[in-house]
Amino acid sequence: MKNFFLVLLIVSAFLSALFDLSESWGRRRRIRSCNRQDCTYYWTSYGSCSRTCGGGKQNQRLVILRYPTCGGTACPAQRYRTTSCNTHCCPVDCAWSWNSWSPCRGCGMSKQTRTMRITRYPSCGGTMCPFIRKQTQNCNTGV
């Protein structure tokens, strides 16, 4: 009978320990459990364009408000986006200069001329070249 009480005491202690262990295990599981949260983010507005014409770039940045927890949807890996802007052509103005005056020839009053030399023609709405492309002036040889 003494052995019976001893066995009963051991079994009772074992069951008590097992019950306490399962109780604390359940408590731990409850503490560790969490709510699934997806990544929360937004894209900023596009920044200013890198060029005013001829094709520039604009950047947009990802701002993360909350990272995912408990297996929630991950945040995008891409943190920056780039797009083209101001792709229209840049205006190019006419570039020109005058050639030298021709020699003054003849007796007394004479005429000499010079012509325009165009080094760059306009494009994309740039300033046009002058219509007058030849000049004449009086000159005096003094003879």
In the chain, the domains with their CATH numbers are: 35-90 (2.20.100.10), 95-140 (2.20.100.10)
Note the pLDDT of residue 107.
Answer: 76
Residue 64: pLDDT over 90: yes
Residues 6+ apart with CB under 8 A from 56: 49, 50, 84, 85, 86
Strands 80-85, 134-140: pairing kind: unpaired
pLDDT band of 63, cuts 50, 70, 90: very high
Buried/exposed code over 117-130 (b: 16+ C-beta within 10 A; e: otherwise): eeeeeeeeebeebe
pLDDT more than 70, % of the chain: 76
Instruction: Give the other-Cβ count within 10 Å of 81's Cβ.
Output: 14
Strands of 12-107 (E only): list them: 40-43, 56-66, 80-85, 95-98
* Model confidence, pTM: 0.51
Q: Is the pLDDT of residue 24 over 80?
A: no
User: Looking at the predicted structure, is the pLDDT value of residue 66 above 70?
Assistant: yes
Residue with the larger pLDDT of the pair 21 and 127: 127
Hey, what amino acid is at 50?
Answer: S
pLDDT at 26 over 90: no
Q: What tokens does 90 get? A: 């840049």
